Amino acid sequence: MISIKKAEKILASIPVRPALEAESIHGTLNRILGQDIRSEIDMPPFNKSAMDGYALNADDKSDRFRILEVIPAGVIPLQKIGAGQCAKIMTGGVVPEGANRVVKREVTIEEEGYMRIVGEDPTMNICFRGEDVRTGDVLLRKGTWIGPSEIGVVASMGLSRVLVYKRPIVGILVTGSELVAPGKPLEPGRIYDSNSYSLRSQVESMGGIAESAGIVLDSQDGIRSALDGLLASCDLVILSGGVSAGDFDYVPGILKKIGFKLHFEKLAIKPGKPTVFATRGDAVVFGVPGNPVSTFVIFEVFVKPFLYRMMGHDYYPEIIQGKMATDFRRKQSSRSAYIPVRHQKALVEILPYHGSAHFHALTRANGLLCVPEGENKIAKGSLVDVRSIQ
Ligand code: AMP
Ligand code: MG
């Protein structure tokens, strides 16, 4: 058995080759940026009014100000502001020459072409040229995950296409002669295949492309030919089930037979001990135990960071600190355990969880609590780190 740290080290040592493609701005949500985005303009590009009001010189203490012109947003002012003068200006408008302050409309009175200030407005109400961004500033780094605000930044730079990393194609192969596809009747002794669907969603939610081989019976030939099929078209393959020590757990043997190097086969982790990681040239295979919580947890902890690396992104899970709402105890402590928890208002609640087949336990969970190897008790009130799974 090897530790989580060791397994992470092995995974990090496997070379990957992220590839780039140009994508229109609409298609970049949830993708990884493949170029630095530098600003070619100052932002704002001109001194911009932050208010509807009147632009004037802050040192001008005149009783009233003659209104030279009206400046809507998007229109270049025609006149320079002198003593006793102002321009009526709208939010977003270009502040005219000679003005360094905008008095907001609410504290003014306008009559017969003049404006008088009748209230207090201590702020300047101008966003100055280059105050947010200067020409040449790097706004987004290569490798950044692209969400709605990043898309906004790309658009604000006037770019309609950017380089992003290609989405890896991830083959999903679930093994088990007991498995039935949802939508079909469940005969005695059989269970529905849920891993195909949860794995596909995990892959897709991080921007990968999932290709499913469907359910494959526990037969050496069947697994081998389905695996060969996926290897021909996928960048990475996840096999679920068939990795343990049962009579029909063929996956590790098949991988060895077809020339894969098994980097690990047993992890000091619960759930997920019989996890297999294997490579052959560029081909990468994870074999995860079939119990749904094991499959889910191993994806989160090991497959996800690896897949992100294939997409040019250094993934660090969000870690949230909280206090244990109750005591936690366990009998065995030879492996690190990942326990489904709910963290809310800095409290960490251990959810009812009967073991790795209890997938339902994950639906209320928003985090995984890692209980380290050797520890079998965490006292109520202790500060713990929770790995977010949202
Ligand atoms: P295995 O890893 O093949 O020994 O399977 C461990 C347990 O997980 C068994 O109870 C299987 O029936 C169950 N299981 C395996 N594959 C799936 C799947 N795709 N969906 C739901 N449960 C599964
Ligand atoms: Mg099985």
Distance 177 CA to ligand 2 centre (A): 7
Distance 223 CA to ligand 2 centre (A): 12
Distance 254 CA to ligand 1 centre (A): 18
Tokens of 36: 């630095």
pLDDT reported for residue 188: 97
pLDDT, mean of residues 16-23 = 97
pLDDT, mean of residues 207-234 = 97
The answer for residues whose C-beta is within 8 angstroms of residue 123's C-beta and 6 or more apart is none
Residues 349, 342 contacting (CB under 8 angstroms): yes
d(CA 92, CA 46): 10
Give the residue range(s) of CATH 3.90.105.10 domains in the chain.
20-42+141-165
Ligand nearest to the CA of 293: 1
Q: Which one of 173, 179, 184 would you pick to mutate in the ligand 1 pocket, going by the greatest count of ligand atoms within 8 A of its CB? A: 179
* pLDDT-derived band at 298, boundaries 50, 70, 90: very high
Give the residue range(s) of CATH 3.40.980.10 domains in the chain.
4-16+167-310
pLDDT reported for residue 359: 87
d(CA 289, CA 286): 10
Ligand nearest to the CA of 181: 1
Place of tokens 């030879």: 334
User: Which residue has the CA at smallest separation from atom 14 of ligand 1?
Assistant: 290
Tokens of 77: 């002012």
Shortest-distance atom of ligand 1 to CA 196: 19
pLDDT reported for residue 355: 85
Distance 174 CA to ligand 1 centre (A): 9
* pLDDT-derived band at 390, boundaries 50, 70, 90: confident
pLDDT, mean of residues 189-218 = 97
d(CA 384, CA 116): 60
* Strand spans (E) along 290-333: 319-324, 328-329
From residue 78, how far is each of 83, 85, 87, 139, 217 by CA, in Å? 16, 14, 10, 33, 78
Domain 319-388 -> CATH class: mainly beta
DSSP at 107: G
Task: Identify the residues whose C-beta falls under 6 Å from ligand 1.
Answer: 174, 176, 178-179, 191, 193-195, 240-244, 246, 289-292
3-state secondary structure of 133: strand
pLDDT in tens, 177-188: 999 999 999 999
Q: What percent of the chain has pLDDT over 90?
A: 97
Distance 141 CA to ligand 2 centre (A): 43
Place of tokens 């100055």: 128
Distance 184 CA to ligand 2 centre (A): 19
DSSP at 146: -
Residues in the chain: 390
Q: Which one of 184, 191, 200, 238 would you pick to mutate in the ligand 1 pocket, going by the greatest count of ligand atoms within 8 A of its CB? A: 191
* pLDDT-derived band at 247, boundaries 50, 70, 90: very high
pLDDT in tens, 40-97: 999 999 999 999 999 999 999 999 999 999 999 999 999 999 999 999 999 999 999 9
Query: Does residue 167 have a pLDDT over 90?
Result: yes
CATH (residue range 48-127): 2.170.190.11
* pLDDT-derived band at 100, boundaries 50, 70, 90: very high
pLDDT reported for residue 236: 98
3-state secondary structure of 305: helix
Residues 1, 371 contacting (CB under 8 angstroms): no
Give the residue range(s) of CATH 2.170.190.11 domains in the chain.
48-127
Shortest-distance atom of ligand 1 to CA 175: 16
Ligand nearest to the CA of 356: 1
pLDDT reported for residue 263: 98
pLDDT in tens, 254-273: 999 999 999 999 999 999 99
pLDDT, mean of residues 150-155 = 96
Distance 271 CA to ligand 1 centre (A): 13
Ligand nearest to the CA of 274: 1
Q: Which one of 197, 240, 267, 358 would you pick to mutate in the ligand 1 pocket, going by the greatest count of ligand atoms within 8 A of its CB? A: 240
Query: Does residue 131 have a pLDDT over 90?
Result: yes
Residues 36, 146 contacting (CB under 8 angstroms): no
pLDDT, mean of residues 315-319 = 96
Shortest-distance atom of ligand 1 to CA 174: 19
CATH (residue range 4-16+167-310): 3.40.980.10
Query: Phi first, then psi: what are they for 109, rounded to 5°?
Result: -130, 140
CATH (residue range 20-42+141-165): 3.90.105.10
pLDDT reported for residue 356: 85
Distance 193 CA to ligand 2 centre (A): 11
Give the environment of ion ligand 2: residues with CB less than 5 A: 176, 241-242
Tokens of 206: 């991080």
d(CA 212, CA 203): 11
Tokens of 242: 């068939």
**pTM of structure:** 0.91
